[in-house]
Amino acid sequence: MKPQILVTRAVFPEVIARLSQHFEVASNQSDELWTKAELIEKLKGKVGAFTNGSDRIDAEVLDANPQLKICANMAVGYNNFDVDAMTAHKVLATNTPDVLTETTADFGFALLMATARRMTESEIYLRQGKWTKWSYDMFAGSDIHGSTLGILGMGRIGQGIAKRGAHGFGMKVIYHNRSRLDAATEAECKAHYVSKEELLKTADHVVLVLPYSPASHHTIGAAELAQMKPSATLVNIARGGIVDDAALAKALREGRIAAAGLDVFEGEPKFNTDLLTVPNVVLTPHIASSSVPTRMAMANLAADNLIGFLLKGKALTPINPSAAQA
């Protein structure tokens, strides 16, 4: 009999068909949002789960399903996983790094440009029939080319954004990270390491690409926004919770920074509705990796992790490899 797995959210039918070659698959192709109690019940008897960022895997879920061996997240982020609890329960956690790097960097730069050039504001103005004449300062934004780009979090995606800015737009790139990059990578990105304070004070455009953790919660709050230039923009494609969204809405309303672009929010899919009351913000619903080829690659990597671990004892991208050895 084939091992049983659960696919918690809708995914490409081709991926379900592929998994079905190896497993007895229970899938949620109707894409219902389950409560924790429902998730616990649907995991009964399953040795593997193909999960999504909306699925909280914690001690309560694991205690109720001691047969579970692996949860394969279709995401590079995994703050929906209690990794310590998973390791203690000998449940492997995996994610999907690398395959979404370039697509997410593309989107991050697109969001930066839309924010700096006030594209959302101007489109709404046009759609509402308010465009009746040209004026010299109509939706005048800030330049990208030749400006200073500050990146907080210089992993693969941050480096991709840096290269686009430095090589494509002649931007001066500065960055801050938990650890400084090696000299060769800095040269490839044309990026210079600075303190967080220097970055906030200097950058014309600040892009956030750091992982979420309790330590990075509200990395950008009222105090940090106060350090930025009034003409600066802020873009968050990292995770909700890294920015204090209430403080950001207030700063935007008061003109303490020029504009913001957000693809992620605290408590998403719910978000702070104060952000809807300020015009100088571009809002997108967590779609930075959403191209068809990239989402297919993410889904296939999550499937590869399930197949590799449950059939061959080896996952491709483990987060807590010690869980498999415990």
- Residues acting as catalytic residues: 239, 268, 286
Count CB-CB contacts under 10 A for residue 57: 27
Residue 178 CA to residue 153 CA, distance in Å, equals: 8
Tell which residue, 225, 290, 293, 295, has the closest CA to residue 253: 225
Could you tell me the two tokens for 132?
A: 């009746």
Bridge pairing between strands 281-283 and 172-176: unpaired
Cβ(244)–Cβ(217) below 8 Å: no
* 205 DSSP β-pair partners: 149, 233
Tell which residue, 242, 235, 224, has the closest CA to residue 260: 235
* 175 DSSP β-pair partners: 151, 193
Q: What is the dihedral of CA 82, 86, 92, 97, to 10 degrees?
A: 10
Residue 172 CA to residue 194 CA, distance in Å, equals: 12
Measured in residues, the chain has a length of: 326
Alpha-carbon dihedral sign for residues 8, 9, 12, 17: positive
Q: What CA–CA distances, in Å, run from 27 to 10, 249, 267, 298, 306?
A: 7, 39, 25, 17, 14
Burial class (CB in 10 A: 0-12, 13-18, 19+), 196: middle
* 220 DSSP β-pair partners: 243
Q: Which residue's entry shows tokens 């839309």?
A: 114
